[in-house]
Amino acid sequence: MSQSGEKGKFPETAGYVGFANLPNQVHRKSVKKGFEFTLMVVGESGLGKSTLINSLFLTDLYPERYIPGAAEKIERTVQIEASTVEIEERGVKLRLTVVDTPGYGDAINSQDCFKTIIQYIDNQFERYLHDESGLNRRHIVDNRVHCCFYFISPFGHGLKPLDVEFMKAIHSKVNIVPVIAKADTLTLRERDRLKRRILDEIGEHGIRIYQLPDADSDEDEEFKEQTRVLKASIPFAVIGSNQLIEVKGKKIRGRLYPWGVVEVENPEHNDFLKLRTMLVTHMQDLQEVTQDLHYENFRSERLKRAGSVQSNRVVEEEVMDKDQILMEKEAELRRMQQMIAQMQAQMKMKPGDD
């Protein structure tokens, strides 16, 4: 009740308890504590990932960039590079970790390139699980990957096989936000066509990307409209740049071409602002989904596996992804067919089933 006096908004009225101020208390505490967010960027080399991250957060996370030559790339495997930066805005501290994956999709044979990435994600979950089960749980550092920006090349006609395989492999572990990179190479019509194509292919392959939550009914119209617009623009077609260019007397971030200037923050040119809005307004939701959905999936799977007495196959069938179940069933089917063939060859009796 003493806190209501602080704001001066809620004088002593009858029946007023005062816990409506709880959000303010939470707000103050979290501002003090600061926020943690881990963002992973995945995509082929040269799609503008680093530029986009720098543009989004108005920092320079990659000051001395070394681009390896093709010969070096042949031997390289996918690396994981995590860089952390503390950003502060109006008293709110954000500890942002950007996990980069150089080498993804570079090699001629990209069959194994996402194993490293999946391992990293699992490791972060593992570590959190371990900390959570430990004795001292006061300062658990949350390094789990909250969001993954997957960069789709604008040059293709839709998703590439590598894109599909990768997204299918991680959609149960992390929130995927597909992003069309270097969108200044597309005209408006091409962009719409590509977006529709990508959404169709995502639906076709059953990939679960991050769904923006609908606005609550008690939010104002503006917010609802914004959410609707955001949802309709996925995947976001973005352009990144940190170069300042003078246009009509103002200095804005953009890219200067002989035929015109592409403005990064112009909603007519690209979806950069929408992406930033989405990230910023839904950062909390991304963290929640990671905690409630992906982490819990991981946790239950791990605990079951650790505590199981039965054969591995039965346990794993229960908790594995549909794809893996399908693969197992196919392998089993093949074995059975072989057995049947053998039996038929030997005895010409009715085949026994398992």
Partner 1 sequence: MIPQTRSLTTSTPIYTTQDLQLEVEVEASVQMEEREGEDGVEQPPLCPIDPNTQGIIKGRDLFGYVGIEAVLDQMRRKTMKAGFEFNIMVVGQSGLGKSTLVNTLFKSKVSRKSCTPNYEEKISKTVNLQSICHVIEEKGVKMKLTVIDTPGFGDQINNENCWEPIVKYVNEQYEKYLREEQHVNRKRRIPDTRVHCCVYFLPATGHRLRPIDVEFMKRLGHIVSIVPVIAKADTLTMEERLEFKQRIRQDLEANGIRVYPQKEYDEDAEDRILNDKIRENIPFAVVGTDKEHQVNGNKVLGRKTKWGIIEVENVAHCEFANLRDLLIRSHLQDLKDVTHNIHYETYRVRRLNESNANGLGLSALSLENGTFDKNEAESQL
Which positions touch partner 1 (CB under 8 A)?
Answer: 44-47, 67-71, 73-74, 106-111, 153-158, 160-162, 165, 182, 184-185, 187-188, 255-263, 268-269
CA 88, distance to chain mean position in Å, is 23
The CA-based diameter of the chain, rounded to the nearest angstrom, is 93
Please, which residue, 255 or 294, has the CB nearer to partner 1? 255
Residue position matching structure tokens 């091409």: 190
Q: Which is nearer to partner 1, 156 or 351 (CB)?
A: 156
> What gap in Å lies between CA 247 and CA 104, rounded to an integer?
37
Q: How far is the CB of 195 from partner 1 (least distance, A)?
A: 15
78-115 b/e with 16+ CB inside 10 Å = b?
A: bebeeeeeeeeeeeeebbbbbbbbbbbbbbeebeebbe
Distance CA 308, CA 100 (A): 36
By C-beta, is 165 or 285 nearer to partner 1?
A: 165
- Smallest gap from residue 272 Cβ to partner 1 (A): 14
Is residue 150 within 8 Å of 178, Cβ to Cβ?
A: yes
10 or 62: CB nearest partner 1:
62
Distance of alpha carbon 282 from alpha carbon 174, whole angstroms? 15
Nearest residue (CB) to partner 1, 146 versus 182: 182
Q: Which is nearer to partner 1, 146 or 255 (CB)?
A: 255
For the CB of residue 224, give the shortest distance to partner 1 in the complex, in Å: 27
Q: CA-CA distance, 96 to 151, in Å (whole number)?
A: 19
Least Cβ distance, residue 166 to partner 1 (angstroms): 9
Nearer to partner 1, 160 or 276 (CB): 160
Query: CB of residue 84 vs partner 1: minimum separation in angstroms?
Result: 25
* Beta strands, E only, 160-318: 176-180, 236-237, 244-247, 250-257, 260-263
- State the minimum distance, in angstroms, from the CB of residue 258 to partner 1: 5
| H/E run at residue 125 | helix 113-132
- Give 128's strand partners: none
Give the nearest distance from C-beta 281 to partner 1 in angstroms.
26
C-beta of residue 87 within 8 angstroms of C-beta of residue 94: yes
